[in-house]
Amino acid sequence: MAILIVLFAVMTLLSSVFFTERNLQNLVMQTSVIAVLAVGQLLVIVTRGIDISVGSILGLSTITGGLAFGTAWGGSAVATILIMAGTGLAVGAVNGIAYVYGRMPNPLIITLATLGIARGLALIISGGDSVVGMPGLVVDLGSGLVGPVPWAGVFLLVVAGAASFLTRQTQWGAWIYAVGGNPEAAARVGMPVRRVLVSVYCLSGVCAGLAAVLVAGRTDSGFPQAGQLSELDAIAAVIIGGASILGGRGTVSGAVVGAFIIGTIRNGLNLLDVDPNWQLVTVGVVVALAVELDVIRAALERRFQAVQAGRGSAGASA
């Protein structure tokens, strides 16, 4: 959070445009997409997993939603949104079930596979072209304002609020942290570890489908390249937000703050006319640094623990 405030201050100094209503609205609209993806990614990372397919799921969902809107039965906004979320759920379920019941050693390869599959399907069923036209409600969610506040921000608050409640206040929430912290112990105390794991990949997919609603709404279209490389932003947001890639640790609010840090960096580099390719480099570097910091923190904690234990026995025998 402190980092975010400093970033805001620095950007305000560097660019006269940054702290204007227009730009802040723009920032919220762009960042809400990253943040919704990050909320889903957080759930996965808390269980020691990773989901790199979310960008492709986002792209595929804009296409299925857009195509459904063109048909009679998918004509309503609610149906379009449900189809996008459902597309995400379907791919997420494939990820989770293949990983857990296929006994894969880690979730990286299966989500890499669906990264390819979902993007390929998006290109195939769209014929490579964008699908123009989204229901009014979707357009409003992606680009509309309530007073000065973008609907996308409100949408993010609802998604993040629900996820925050689920992770902090429910039994399922307690279990994802337990499974991430010590999967063997979780199984020993009778938690349904496999179903917990499947559930987080399903929800990550749903979040990607919901992020697709915002992207499709902002552009009033579905396009097969939507969300390309946004898995990088989502993972970066989660790690910067204080979650541990080693599992068992991280909060929804942290992930949202992390998303805003990434969003502000991207927005700022844009305003400063930095080549967009350098944005990618920057985010990549930030991810690498954040993961390394996380690893170092864990190592320091283990050392502290050893010192504590040592002090316990030394103190007793003295």
Partner 1 sequence: MSAPFVLEARGVVKYFGAVCALDGAQLQLADGEILALLGDNGAGKSTLIKCLTGVHRPDAGEIRVDGARLTMKSAADARAAGIETVYQDLALFDNLSPTQNFFAGREQVSGARLLGRLAVLRKRSMHAETLVALDRLGVRIPQDAATVGLMSGGQRQGIAVARAAAFAGRVVILDEPTAALGLRESRAVLDIVKRLPEQGISVILISHNLDHVTEVADRAVVMRRGRVVGEAVPSDETHEQLVGLIVNG
| CA 109 and chain centroid, separation | 18
Shortest reach from residue 243's CB to partner 1, in Å: 11
Instruction: Give CA–CA dist 276/43, Å, rounded.
Output: 29
Instruction: Give CA–CA dist 134/217, Å, rounded.
Output: 7
Q: Does 129 bind partner 1 (CB under 8 A)?
A: no
169 to 188: interface string for partner 1, x by CB under 8 A: xxxxxxx-xx-xxx-xxx-x
Q: Which of 222, 248, 254, 268 binds partner 1 (CB under 8 A)?
A: 248
Shortest reach from residue 312's CB to partner 1, in Å: 4
The size of the interface with partner 1 (CB under 8 A), counted in residues, is 35
Q: Which is nearer to partner 1, 157 or 246 (CB)?
A: 246
> H-helix or E-strand containing 168?
helix 151-169
* C-alpha dihedral, 287 to 292 to 293 to 296, nearest 10°: 160
Token pair belonging to 103? 């006994």
Q: Which is nearer to partner 1, 229 or 314 (CB)?
A: 314
Nearby residues of 66 by Cβ (< 8 Å), 6 or more positions away:
126, 130, 131, 132, 133, 134, 216, 221, 222
Q: Does 83 bind partner 1 (CB under 8 A)?
A: no
Q: Which is nearer to partner 1, 21 or 184 (CB)?
A: 184
Q: Of 191-220, which residues contact partner 1 (CB under 8 A)? A: 191
How many other C-beta atoms are found inside a 10 Å radius of the C-beta of residue 306? 10
Interacting residues toward partner 1 by CB under 8 A: 166, 169-175, 177-178, 180-182, 184-186, 188-191, 247-249, 301, 304-305, 308-309, 311-317
